[in-house]
Amino acid sequence: MPETNDWWRTAVIYQVYPRSFADSTGDGVGDLDGITARLDAIASLGADAVWLSPFYVSPQHDAGYDVADYTDVDPLFGDLASFDRLLARAHELGLRVIVDLVPNHSSSEHPWFRAALAAAPGSPERARYLFRDGRGLVDANGTGDVPPNDWQSVFGGPAWTRVVEADGRPGQWYLHLFDTSQPDFDWSNGEVQAFFLDVLRFWLDRGVDGFRIDVAHGLVKAPGLPDYTPPAGGSMGGDAASAPMWAQPGVHEIYREWRRLVDGYQPPRALVGEAWVQPLSKLANWVRPDELHQTFNFEYLETPWDAAALRAVVDGSLAAFGGVGAPATWVLSNHDVIRHPTRFALVPPPPQGEGLGPRSPHHPDEVVGLRRARAATLFMLALPGSAYLFQGEELGLPEVIDIPDAARQDPTFARTGGASYGRDGARVPIPWTADAPAQGFGPPGAAATGASWLPQPTTWASYARDGQAGVPGSTLELYRAALAARRAHGLGAGALAWLPGDDPHVLAFRSGDVTVVANVGARPVPLPAGEVLVASGPLGEGVIPGDTTVWLLRVE
């Protein structure tokens, strides 16, 4: 592995969603040994690092983002020894490993929350979470029957649940910005702060290269927890400057302390925040020199396939992140959003979290979507900074729409009474081998069971990795070629210079010796003379067809 302290500035980081990557036992859920056995596929793709979504002890009410033990592995995924094996193998292959940290809330099965439920109102046990008396009618317990404020959970329904006190009567309420099973910590509590420093140390001492911080904009709530009505369509915090549960100034002190901790390790480790904060100028506060190293760029992810919008978000990102000395980051897909081949086929796509299902009014065109997705990815991978990929996008996988209601597991689906399908469509186990049980997601040979925790569509066989490997023009080979060329030409560390042009649907820039031309429109445009390095789709004679990006060398 190259010995550098700032590998993260230009890294391509591949997100592994452990439940859905590779299952070594045949129980239908992916696991750490499954990942270890398949890490070479990530290394040979050309990624620099792996980000692992949570694999900690959890009742799995939110696919592991509900943690009951922060320093142990859920038996579903293996144990600490299997984690150590994964880490060692990744390092052997030159891949760095970032693990997910979920500090905004624990599982309701965490020992601290159980202790809080067993303890009395006002106790130190309750003070680690956000317990409050209700409003409304005050009953014999001295607490009202109406939630303490009007906040709604991101997954739908009220953000408060009332507990039953030791005497069997309804009592206080606790805050959960997500599912009922995910109580929010009170981050003004010194015990909570110290606890997470220990959790960080635990994984740092085990050798991880960094952390992805879940809901990094949510830990601190406005004093007094005032009522708040979000604007329609808002979610996850990008909705308003005044939201009392998101982007409160107090979060920054937490990250300054974490930064001091990780900087004490040799080589220093990286912190990336999941902060749904807009505008970019505000998001940049998360990555000031003494805070996190990086933050996801959801404004980029949510930008439509439109030349003017893309140019604006690229300029805005480079200016905002560059202004605080942080690298820009880019991302098109993850486990919370509709996979980008499907998203780019929908104008406009449904809001984040709503998802797609059999009763959605949308009919994405898979061919158009994939063509745009490939062009969008090739454009993204040329941009200076760091890029995040989500498992399966290198196969061009679309969102799975036809998941039966009974199989859906995202709490969003149940909490909205089915009004939002949620995020399961992006989380279906990925296809490795077209004609193997569970499309090769499970173990091979006699151990194969064909089990898969979410049903895999039969149409995915045509996207399976074995059918794409070595096949010119396949999406897998496009990603490989792009990542190799990105590395060879230093694009991650490059400086972008836009090239002039008259066509409003064309984006063209130069970075080092590479010229990038993206035809975001539908009509063919002239192909500049030069050596084609990578193209996202077939080129015509002297033309770049619609929805196609090309990288060129030696353009005059």
Question: Given the rule CB under 6 A, which residues bind ligand GLC?
Answer: 62, 65, 102, 178, 214-215, 274, 335-336
Q: Smaller CB distance to ligand GLC: residue 237 or 546?
A: 237
| Peptide bond preceding 348 in cis form (omega within 30 of 0) | yes
Cβ neighbours of residue 472 under 8 Å, at least 6 residues apart? none
Q: What is the DSSP string of 491-555?
A: GGG---EEPP-S-TTEEEEEETTEEEEEE-SSS-EEPPSSEEEEESS--BTTEE-TTEEEEEES-
> Shortest distance, CB of residue 336 to ligand GLC, whole angstroms?
5
Q: Smaller CB distance to ligand GLC: residue 106 or 515?
A: 106
> Shortest distance, CB of residue 430 to ligand GLC, whole angstroms?
17
Which residues are bridge partners to 440 per DSSP?
none
Strand ranges inside 351-430, DSSP E? 386-390
Buried b (16+ CB within 10 A) or exposed e, 513-532: ebbbbbbbbeebbebbebee
Q: Smaller CB distance to ligand GLC: residue 146 or 199?
A: 199
Q: Smaller CB distance to ligand GLC: residue 48 or 179?
A: 179
Q: Smaller CB distance to ligand GLC: residue 19 or 126?
A: 19
> Shortest distance, CB of residue 214 to ligand GLC, whole angstroms?
5
Q: Smaller CB distance to ligand GLC: residue 65 or 344?
A: 65
Pairing state between β 56-57 and 69-73: antiparallel
Cβ–Cβ < 8 Å for 50, 90:
yes
Q: Smaller CB distance to ligand GLC: residue 7 or 14?
A: 14
d(CA 536, CA 449): 37
> Shortest distance, CB of residue 473 to ligand GLC, whole angstroms?
33
> Shortest distance, CB of residue 154 to ligand GLC, whole angstroms?
7
Position of tokens 């003494």? 290
Q: Smaller CB distance to ligand GLC: residue 181 or 475?
A: 181
> Shortest distance, CB of residue 257 to ligand GLC, whole angstroms?
21
d(CA 100, CA 200): 10
Query: Which strand (E) or helix (H) includes residue 295?
Result: strand 294-295
> Shortest distance, CB of residue 233 to ligand GLC, whole angstroms?
17
> Shortest distance, CB of residue 185 to ligand GLC, whole angstroms?
12
Q: Smaller CB distance to ligand GLC: residue 209 or 214?
A: 214
Q: Which residue is nearest to ligand GLC (CB)?
A: 65
Q: List phi, psi (to 5°) of 374.
A: -65, -40
Q: What is the DSSP string of 316-357?
A: HHHHHHHHTTPPPEEES--TTS--HHHHTTSSSPPPTTT---
> Shortest distance, CB of residue 54 to ligand GLC, whole angstroms?
9
Q: Smaller CB distance to ligand GLC: residue 102 or 332?
A: 102
How far, CA to CA in Å, does 373 sit from each of 280, 341, 421?
Answer: 23, 5, 22
> Shortest distance, CB of residue 97 to ligand GLC, whole angstroms?
18
Q: Which amino acid is at 534?
A: V
